Amino acid sequence: MLDIWSWICDLPHSFGPHWSKSVLELELAGSTPGGDGPKRSIQLQASISDHEAAITFSLHLLGFDSQRVQPGPIWVSNACPLSSDQPFLPLLLQLLRETISRSPAAHDSTSPRSKTGELRPEPVAWIMDSHSPESLSGFFSLAFLMRLFWLCCFDSPGEVGSFYFHSLFATTIEPLVLNRTPVLTKFLASVGVDAEVRFTRSLGYMLSKWLILREVGGAGLKTLALPAAHQLDGGDGGLILSYANEAHGLWILKGHAPLQAMKVISSSSLLKKFPFSEAKDAVLKYVLAHQQLEAIIQMEYSVKFYEGYIQVNARVDNIRLHVVKLGFKKGDDNDQGHLAEERHFPSRARLWVGPEVGATYIGGFSLGQSTNNTGKELETQKIVKGSFGNTKVPKVKTMARTSSRTRIRNWRWDQDAEGNAAVFDGVLCDSNSGYEVVASRPPPAGGGSEFQKRYTGANRRFTKGGGVVFAGSECGKDVVWRMSREMEGSVMKWRIGGQIWLTYWPSNADAIRTSHFETRVVEFCDEVDLPLIPRKVM
């Protein structure tokens, strides 16, 4: 990929000491001229103001149909003063603010769209000041590509958007390998949750469009494959964003995954012999493709020091799984009526936390929940008859009835262990049939499934926003590790991760009449700090 950031940082030297040049150009993407017409290109221009000693950037489209693409820049930046300690901070801040302001909100969101001024400059300035130009390059390229996405795909004719995806985005996908961009995760952790959500939804919308185009082969993209490292799990794992941090006695893992980047493990499409039989479900699948999983896992931990050992306790504090719809706000052009209410739902959550693999300092490990072997409902009835004297007609008749009932829950939570890691496994079950949803097919329409119209009614299984929330009390008690006092004073690396399954069954089966169903899975994993340092309470 072109190193845009290095080119920008070299501009003061490239212009020369006496501003001998007034405009410099960088071609971001270009096509070779041929029978289809002249060469097309997307060009970044930098112009310098002699009297203000400031650089202004602009984006230009060259070689496109002049009747549809007006001459002149499609975007102009604010002036970047060269006298500043961080001359290009205004440029990066403008790119991020404008991207966040265009973020598609979930159609049922109660929070307003972010305004450009809601992104404070301090976190962005800290990111630029605390990272080298080499490490900052990927993050800046991602911010630039996201801003260019909205310019080319929404503010320009369709031919520009196709050119952007084929000639620029497809060949510069490496910066979108998000787990290899630590600057991005530090940015998200420092800007605040409101800006974080809008940034990741804007990113998720762009990635969803890209993945849809790759799947249908639009603009020749079907022949463009992701690097092999991104396909190890059968999905586009490089397009998954997750990070973890430790704060105030909590380990917090956050994950954002576009639906199309998640691995398919079961689907009605896999059972069909002829792919063209799916044509009637094309619109439904297009709607479902514009979704994103937002997962937040909070683990509460504590460290206690005893005479001969150190004890680490951990328990689930909160799990929030939300499936948001990107760009389908009611009234938008993409609104598909009753289809807009269809979405995937969480059907399983498997979380783990524990020391790094191969750790030898753990002396003991205990789980906090035994396996719950529930019994079936039993009912017995006894009738006792008796009489007085010699009469054959009974004078006394009694009846006794005893019964026991088992409470049925939709979510079954278990604790388990993998080595020294604690595993919390929650599975959604159909209380009518008892089957696990993640491994089942939906019942036929009109079959009385409790997952039809699942976002309405007093007994709904999910929030009206399409998610589910678990409190710590639902996932069992504390798990405990013990280790030697020799570890006191060190900061250990603890791993935390999870797998989330999303399932689609029709919510309004009577209206859409579809046989489509599927289950997808995604994995998040990261490391957090475990300080084994006694704290003095003031």
In terms of Cα–Cα distance, which of 346, 365, 359, 309 is closest to 487? 309
The predicted model scores a pTM of 0.85
SS3 state at 477 = coil
SS3 state at 119 = coil
**Which position has the higher pLDDT, 411 or 370?**
411
Is 316 within 8 Å of 415 (Cβ atoms)?
no
Which string of DSSP letters, residue by residue, matches 277-305?
Answer: GGGGGHHHHHHHHSEEEEEEEEEEEEEEE
**Which position has the higher pLDDT, 86 or 449?**
86
**What would the 3-class secondary structure string for 152-169 be?**
HHCCCCHHHHHHHHHHHH
pLDDT at 506 > cutoff 70: yes
State residue 238's pLDDT score. 67
State residue 3's pLDDT score. 84
SS3 state at 406 = coil
Q: What is the mean pLDDT of residues 326-331?
A: 62
The mean pLDDT value of the chain amounts to: 81
State residue 376's pLDDT score. 52
Question: Both tokens of residue 286?
Answer: 């297009």
Please state, in angstroms and as integers, the Cα–Cα distance from residue 503 to each residue in 28, 48, 207, 371, following that order. Answer: 40, 54, 20, 26
State residue 275's pLDDT score. 47
Is the Cα dihedral 507, 512, 515, 517 positive or negative? negative
Dump pLDDT digits (tens) for 127-152. Answer: 999 988 888 988 999 999 999 999 99
State residue 483's pLDDT score. 92
pLDDT at 49 > cutoff 90: no
State residue 302's pLDDT score. 94
Which string of DSSP letters, residue by residue, matches 147-209?
Answer: HHHHHHHTSS-HHHHHHIIIIIITTS-GGG-GGG-HHHHHHHHHH-HHHHHHHHHHHHHHHHH
SS3 state at 522 = strand
State residue 500's pLDDT score. 97
State residue 273's pLDDT score. 46
Give the residue extent of every domain in the chain. 236-254+296-366+409-538
Dump pLDDT digits (tens) for 229-277. Answer: 333 344 566 688 899 999 889 999 999 999 999 999 988 876 554 444 4
- The whole-angstrom separation of Cα 495 and Cα 469 is 23
State residue 274's pLDDT score. 43
Q: What is the mean pLDDT of residues 101-123?
A: 67
Lowest mean pLDDT among 317-321, 339-343, 355-359, 436-440: 339-343
- The whole-angstrom separation of Cα 154 and Cα 138 is 24
Identify which of 19-33, 127-141, 233-247, 447-461 has the greatest average pLDDT: 127-141
Please state, in angstroms and as integers, the Cα–Cα distance from residue 204 to each residue in 28, 95, 97, 243, 465, following that order. Answer: 23, 17, 16, 16, 18
Is 446 within 8 Å of 453 (Cβ atoms)?
no
Share of the chain above pLDDT 70, in %: 76
